[in-house]
Structure 1
Amino acid sequence: MRSGRSRLGSWSWSRPAPVRGSASSTQFCAPLPLGGARVTIWTYGGELPGREIWVRRGDLLRVRLDNALPQPTTVHWHGLALRNDMDGVPGLTQPEVAPGATFDYAFAVPDAGTFWFHQHVGAQLDRGLYAPLIVEDPDEPGDYDRELVVVFDDWLDGTGRDPDQVLTELLANGMGGMDMGSGAAAMTMPRSDLLGGDAGNVTYPYFLANGRTADAAHTLEVRPGQRIRLRMINASADTAFRVGVPGTAMTVTHTDGFPVVPTRVEAVLLGMGERVDAVVEVPDAVMPLLGLAEGKDGVTQVLLRAGPGAAPDVVAAAVALRGSPVTPVGDLSATESMGLPDREPDVVQPMTLGGPEPGYTWTINGRTYDPAAGVPVREGQRVRLRFENPTSMFHPMHLHGHTFQVRGAGGVGPRKDTAIVFPRQALEVDFDADNAGQWLTHCHNVYHGEAGMMTVVSYVDS
């Protein structure tokens, strides 16, 4: 087993090769250009996103977090079925790491795939504290020529408001007294037919791909005919993205790190916390990979440049992508080797999503977050979570420490750890209780989670 060690300290660099077997640093007050705007923000290692970590399946990853922030923090390793005390949930799996303090993370990396890591304290995720974690499979055939990691995000920090202010305003004032379900007031909220209703609660001035706005997009020089594996991550707090290349289909190969039956799509819908791997063949031109902020007036991009000439007009390209069919990643199917063994559940746990109640309160099973009032499971059980969403907004629900299988109407759905539950719909997912501990389950809309839409899947002895 290989082992890597690094410190999450106050590093700073331009954009070198990814770190292998180590993680990036925590620092604050880093002035960074997002494009035309230059903002002072919190980062891992002075970069946005933080520098990629690349490891192999089975590696032992050792990371020291040096907290140079003015607030307590932690690191959560999103999507990994790791040991419980390394999961990074303050008050549940570890204490908060105080300013000036350190914490050592050490765990074996169990599965290959596209993952990421981010803080798990308050609204810090909406400040830019995130980075990709790519776990390679040495046995994977790899039918592609190059790889590109793309992280999509919504951005407001450093622009006159910060996420803590936004959360405080929402908790104090709700949505300004608006009826979230119907009426003229509700129509002022971002809306999306694809998302089935409200598209978000927060207004963002910028949308980013790899830390850049569309007018200052990162560009990858490629050759015509090359097959590029895109590893796409939605690290945003309140925004789903419609992702695709106008006029060029891509083949989705993985969701949340796990293989799916290869499926050609025009575009995918990527909820907060979700990841998709897809392969696209490069034409002899400048090709934009777009992220449209679904239901919001925003777009971002990265460019694959295989020929001379100017990039396509981003507004026209966005119009073309909006006219393309979109595939929610939850509608894909796991490969035969990735499907859970056929088995009836030992227990079905209802998870009713509610809100917003007066004052901007979001709930699961009628409760705001209480670590002592979780959902009990026993080791060895096949557990079915039945998410019911009677609200007017979509909720990307994330289970820590496990991968579940979506139960789709057409048969076996994908293996995932985060899945959108659409308004006025239900979603059933199955997982095997094979990783004992106390595991957070929550909406990956940061503001919904901090307003109460979290619970604990709690292993019990009897």
Structure 2
Amino acid sequence: MKSFTRRDFLQALALLGISTGIEALLPAYARSRPRVPAPRRPRRGPVTYDLTIAETPIRIGGRRAKATTINGTVPGPLLRFREGDEVIIRVTNRLKEDTSIHWHGVLVPFDMDGVPGVSFPGIKPGETFTYRFRLRQHGTYWYHSHSGLQEQTGIYGPLIIDPAEEPYPYDREYVIVLSDWTFENPYRVLARLRKYPGYYNFQRRTLANLFEEAREMGFWKALKDRLSWGRMRMGATDIVDITGATYTYLMNGHAPEDNWTALFRPGERVRLRFINAAAGSIFDVRIPGLPMTVIQADGQYVQAVTVDEFRIGIAETYDVIVEPKEEQAYTIFAESMDRSGYARGTLAPREGMEGPIPPLRKRPLRTHADMGMVHEGHEGHAGMPHEAMAAPTEHRGHQMPADTTGHHMHGGHDHHGGHAMMAGMMGGVGQPPGMPPEAQPHGDDTHGPGNAAVPMITRSRLHEPGVGLGEDGWRVLVYTDLKSLHPREDFRPPTREIELHLTGNMERFLWGIDGKTYSEAPEPIRLRYGERVRLVLVNDTMMEHPMHLHGMWMELENGHGRHIPRKHTILVKPAERLSVLITPDEPGPWVFHCHILYHMEMGMFRVFEVSEPETATRTSS
């Protein structure tokens, strides 16, 4: 009888859909190994890591691919530190092109931020760049390339900074990195989107589903809805740019069929650190049958809130604690926002177990409310037209008054980022600190050809779960649920406001801020060191934008006073007006951009320039 050789074993694994050598191509945290809280270690000098970026053959979902990897894996290795550590990270470039690493959400000096052309020149082929900084925070973060579209090809990984004191004890933990992978060249993906933005949308409305919608809402209403979207040159199914038509959704580098597994003992408190490291995908995360208690958002502890599902925008992180009490398998299910696919894993007491995989939900549709349209009597704006989301030539907004500098002011805003301000009686401007902005009509500035349309009304939508959520009877996390664990010490009112509009033209796949791409933008937006500024973001587009600010926290004004949460990335819904408070406390240039990689590449990107402290200026002079 022929013996069963190692080669036979590997071939059997391949037939079962398990990629050969997959464990060797994954970092330790992604190999279903639990981590229990480690004892506190004394500090003994800097914590050092060596990272090498290179091209590496890998297998994803049983298919061969070539990725740009960090130390040979996708995702890259887990970098773990303690609050207060001094960090030395040497990054060596083995590619044939420049590369970089940005420490997402980590507060560092500007020259350690890793943005080529802004904070440093980049890392040339064959060279090593040494990042060195001291950690001033704790929490779950991640790191990634900021060079071209390299993030899409595999240059990303998790980063955890343990706190001096842990407010939420747990028995074991897992890092869960969500991402998307395409076997296409990402520049080819971008070229296709520029020629035809709906290239990957196979869920568009057709004549067949017109009759399905007519059965649900009535024929004339369904027809009127379609004609309305047609006049706006938009589609109600335009949820994301890139879908499961080309994307494979990954959990810790594993395709859904690989069934990444995390083990537990019934009764344990298991901490799951979710990181959305995708290039173009927003996920809706749930573990059917198992409530999740959210304890951290973007690395910052929040007051515990228990939910059944949460939406995680690109670049956001959420830490949750689950307490499985039954000896059964649970599915960790991360469904793409457009319902074209999912990433999944299993939380189980033993290897080899699987929980049931939920069916994909029906693809959502944009509504007129999503687009800033107003029905009669809605929010006190009775009589406003129903078709309020109009092309620029049809827009009927209200003119903003002009200040003495010629800039248009909106409730004390300096719309163009200048220094004019309108101080209130308490030394601040606008609404009280911590409160969301009031709904406002859009001004007459339609931002030119770089913007396809504008909503008539922009309003806070922080209390809304988002398109496709909230109709299943489940508890869904919303931004108004987030309250910081400790009150803000610095809660000064802002002395000025800067209003920025997120703009885009789907037909041209052109994205920008205030109607301009980065290459067309004026000089950087100037901030004074230590000043208190309210940044108002207005989404004039029909898509969500995860906006990330480098170098400083954004304090999301969600109505909780001194307990408003700090975030490094905020998912801005269509037709939404939201505000954040910022206190620039690190001099230098800092970028602000959409974290949909292809939107950033096409121009939704700006630079904030923070001045040197006045004392330093006087000393140097």
Q: Report the TM-score, using the length of structure 2 for normalisation.
A: 0.66
Q: Which one of the candidate residues 389, 397, 404 is aligned to 2:539?
A: 389
Distance 1:434 1:329, change over 3 A: farther
Q: Which one of the candidate residues 499, 507, 510 is aligned to 1:361?
A: 510
Q: Which one of the candidate residues 295, 312, 323 is aligned to 2:338?
A: 295
Supply the distance in 1 between the matched residues of 2:98 and 2:237 (Cα, whole angstroms).
33
Offset at residue 303 of structure 1 (A): 1.3
Name the structure 2 match of 1:228.
Answer: 270
1:375 aligns with 2:525: yes
8 Å Cα contact 1:27-1:45 kept in structure 2 = yes
1:453 aligns with 2:604: yes
Report which structure shows greater RCO (CA 8 Å, sep ≥6).
1
8 Å Cα contact 2:282-2:313 kept in structure 1 = yes
| Number of residue equivalences | 441
Supply the distance in 1 between the matched residues of 2:251 and 2:471 (Cα, whole angstroms).
18
Alignment of 1:289-328 (within 5 A): 289-306=332-349, 310-316=353-359, 323=472, 325=474, 327-328=476-477
Q: Which one of the candidate residues 341, 349, 357 is aligned to 2:490?
A: 341
- Larger deviation, residues 358-367 vs 316-325: 316-325
Name the structure 1 match of 2:322.
Answer: 280
Supply the distance in 1 between the matched residues of 2:48 and 2:522 (Cα, whole angstroms).
34
Deviation readout 1:94-130 (Å, 9 max, x if unpaired): 0021222221111111100001100001111111100
Name the structure 2 match of 1:103.
Answer: 129
Q: Which secondary structure does the structure 2 equivalent of 1:215 belong to?
A: helix
Supply the distance in 2 between the matched residues of 1:206 and 1:111 (Cα, whole angstroms).
34
Offset at residue 390 of structure 1 (A): 1.3
Offset at residue 312 of structure 1 (A): 2.2
- Larger deviation, residues 254-263 vs 354-363: 354-363
Alignment of 1:5-404 (within 5 A): 15-16=27-28, 21-23=47-49, 25-156=51-182, 159=183, 161-171=184-194, 174-175=197-198, 182-183=229-230, 186-187=234-235, 189-190=237-238, 198-201=239-242, 203-283=245-325, 284-306=327-349, 310-316=353-359, 323=472, 325=474, 327-328=476-477, 330-339=479-488, 341-356=490-505, 359-370=508-519, 373-404=523-554
Offset at residue 325 of structure 1 (A): 3.1
Distance 1:286 1:321, change over 3 A: farther
- Paired amino acid for 1:304: L
Supply the distance in 2 between the matched residues of 1:24 and 1:440 (Cα, whole angstroms).
26
- In structure 2, runs of 5+ residues without a counterpart are 1-23, 36-45, 205-227, 363-468, 615-621
- Larger deviation, residues 281-290 vs 433-442: 281-290
- Paired amino acid for 1:99: P
Distance 1:24 1:199, change over 3 A: farther
- In structure 1, runs of 5+ residues without a counterpart are 1-11, 191-197
8 Å Cα contact 2:295-2:305 kept in structure 1 = yes
- Larger deviation, residues 161-170 vs 16-25: 16-25
Offset at residue 186 of structure 1 (A): 4.4
8 Å Cα contact 1:147-1:229 kept in structure 2 = yes
Q: Which secondary structure does the structure 2 equivalent of 1:373 belong to?
A: coil
Distance 1:308 1:446, change over 3 A: closer
- Paired amino acid for 2:106: L
Supply the distance in 2 between the matched residues of 1:269 and 1:430 (Cα, whole angstroms).
23
Offset at residue 23 of structure 1 (A): 4.0
- Paired amino acid for 2:334: G
Supply the distance in 2 between the matched residues of 1:106 and 1:390 (Cα, whole angstroms).
39
Supply the distance in 2 between the matched residues of 1:317 and 1:358 (Cα, whole angstroms).
29
Supply the distance in 2 between the matched residues of 1:346 and 1:13 (Cα, whole angstroms).
52
Q: Report the TM-score, using the length of structure 1 for normalisation.
A: 0.88
Q: Which secondary structure does the structure 2 equivalent of 1:91 belong to?
A: coil
Deviation readout 1:377-418 (Å, 9 max, x if unpaired): 101111111000011000000000111111114655321000
Supply the distance in 2 between the matched residues of 1:135 and 1:432 (Cα, whole angstroms).
22
Supply the distance in 2 between the matched residues of 1:329 and 1:49 (Cα, whole angstroms).
28
Supply the distance in 2 between the matched residues of 1:318 and 1:288 (Cα, whole angstroms).
16
Query: More helix per residue: 1 or 2?
Result: 2
8 Å Cα contact 2:483-2:560 kept in structure 1 = no
Offset at residue 142 of structure 1 (A): 4.0
Taking only aligned residues, the RMSD between alpha carbons, in angstroms, comes to 3.0
8 Å Cα contact 2:55-2:67 kept in structure 1 = yes
Supply the distance in 1 between the matched residues of 2:26 and 2:545 (Cα, whole angstroms).
35
Distance 1:228 1:318, change over 3 A: farther
Over the matched positions of the two proteins, sequence identity in percent amounts to: 32
- Paired amino acid for 1:323: D
- Paired amino acid for 1:398: H
1:414 aligns with 2:565: yes
Name the structure 2 match of 1:3.
Answer: none
Q: Which secondary structure does the structure 1 equivalent of 2:229 belong to?
A: coil
- Paired amino acid for 1:399: L
Supply the distance in 2 between the matched residues of 1:13 and 1:155 (Cα, whole angstroms).
15
8 Å Cα contact 1:233-1:274 kept in structure 2 = yes
